[in-house]
């Protein structure tokens, strides 16, 4: 079995374990292993032959054995058993927004739901709303999620994302309450494809901004509308999130929402190693769990300041993929 197929098997193992209600850290280990393998530049056969698979960060004893078995035989008992124990229809249900492993498990056990089709019927008959932890609103959200799941799951070309950004950004800039605004996320990182749009605004008066954002033209659904965070979906399936933060936290939040997740995790680990705690709200001494929405003692008037405070060289958005750039910036 070649590398591409093995990556897929590892990803599927992670997905199935999610539905089985496995330990989330274990699940993460599998998807991290899959990603590591995928981005490995060396030839997999060479690495295995030289017995160096386990030397790769994130690949330990268990994953090494499984990868080697798959490479040599194309079969894996552990995987086969998992496949046999998880109805394939349940895997599709993870694409529905609002449904994760836990809820899918409940739906399967209590209502015998085992596919999108049976889930649709269960919702239409109102059986889902009666479940503990579910409700009328959940039920409606599931039905609309099913109807639009292709649009939801689709990623968009950067170019298409940019044309959306060009429409939304000027509107935000014009609002008198908006002090600063940027598009963040994978769009800012310049990824070839963009999952959804992330806008970040600095303001001390979020409410009118949130209201404007959730009532733009072309919105078909407001999926969240809170005090500082809202999500909407447009015709055609593009999703956009808006966050509003106080201006002294703007660059921390911009860094955070530009991501990637892996990059953020490394940056936070780097902070912890210095006795500091980094979040979207600021950089503060680790100490107690006082991660309230207050600015930390460290000020940032640019993203550069954040890297500087951690003793790192500046890493531009396009390199923030958690693939060693943080380590490379030490010096």
Partner DNA sequence: TGGCGGTACTG
Partner DNA sequence: CAGTACC
Partner DNA sequence: GCCA
Interacting residue ranges for DNA, rule: CB under 7 A? 23, 25-26, 28-30, 33, 56-64, 78, 96-104, 133-135, 137-138, 141, 184-186, 195-196, 198, 224-230, 239, 241, 256-261, 264-265, 268-269, 272, 277-281, 291, 293
- Residue 99 or 310: the one with the smaller Cβ distance to DNA is 99
Rounded to the nearest 5°, which phi and psi values hold at 312?
-115, 155
- For DNA, which is the closer residue by CB, 249 or 329? 249
How large is the greatest C-alpha to C-alpha distance in the chain, in angstroms? Answer: 64
**DSSP, res 115:** S
Q: Least distance from C-beta 140 to DNA, angstroms?
A: 8
Considering only CA atoms, give the Rg of the chain. 22
Torsion-angle region of residue 184: left (phi > 0), alpha (psi -120 to 50) or beta?
A: beta
Query: What's the min distance (Å) between Cβ of 282 and DNA?
Result: 8
- Least distance (Å) between residue 26 CB and DNA: 4
| Structural tokens at position 170 | 């000027």
Is-contact 295 284, C-beta < 8 A? no
In 3-state terms, what secondary structure has residue 257?
helix
CB of 238 to DNA, least distance (A): 12
φ, ψ at 195 (rounded to 5°): -75, -55
CB nearer to DNA: pick between 120 and 228? 228
Give least dist CB 184 to DNA, A.
6
- 318: number of Cβ within 10 Å: 11
Report residue 322 as tokens: 């958690």
């Amino acid at each position: 079995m070649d590398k591409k197929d093995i990556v897929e098997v590892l990803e599927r193992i992670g997905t199935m374990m999610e539905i089985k209600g496995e330990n989330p850290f274990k699940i993460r280990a599998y998807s991290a292993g899959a990603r590591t393998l995928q981005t490995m530049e060396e030839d997999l056969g060479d690495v295995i032959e030289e017995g160096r698979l386990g030397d790769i960060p994130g690949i330990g004893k268990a994953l090494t054995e499984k990868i080697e078995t798959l490479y040599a035989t194309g079969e894996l008992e552990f995987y086969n058993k998992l496949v046999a124990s998880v109805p394939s229809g349940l895997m599709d249900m993870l694409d529905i927004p609002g449904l994760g492993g836990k809820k899918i498990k409940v739906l399967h056990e209590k209502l015998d739901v085992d596919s999108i089709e049976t889930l649709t019927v269960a919702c239409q008959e109102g059986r889902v709303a009666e479940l503990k932890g579910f409700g009328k609103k959940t039920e409606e959200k599931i039905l609309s999620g099913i109807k639009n799941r292709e649009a939801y799951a689709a990623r968009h070309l950067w170019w298409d994302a940019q044309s959306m950004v060009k429409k939304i950004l000027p509107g935000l800039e014009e609002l008198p309450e908006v002090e600063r605004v940027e598009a963040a996320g994978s769009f800012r990182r310049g990824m070839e494809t963009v999952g959804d749009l992330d806008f970040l605004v600095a303001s001390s008066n979020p409410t009118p901004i949130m209201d404007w954002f959730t009532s733009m033209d072309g919105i078909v659904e407001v999926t969240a509308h809170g005090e500082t965070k809202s999500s909407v979906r447009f015709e055609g399936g593009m999703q956009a999130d808006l966050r509003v933060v106080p201006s002294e936290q703007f660059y921390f939040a911009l860094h955070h929402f530009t991501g990637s997740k892996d990059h953020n995790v490394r940056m936070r680990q780097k902070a912890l190693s210095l006795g500091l705690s980094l979040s979207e709200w600021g950089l503060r001494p680790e100490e107690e769990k006082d991660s309230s929405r207050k600015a930390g003692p460290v000020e940032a008037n640019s993203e550069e300041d954040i890297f500087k405070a951690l003793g790192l060289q500046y890493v531009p958005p396009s390199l923030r993929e958690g693939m060693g750039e943080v380590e490379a910036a030490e010096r």
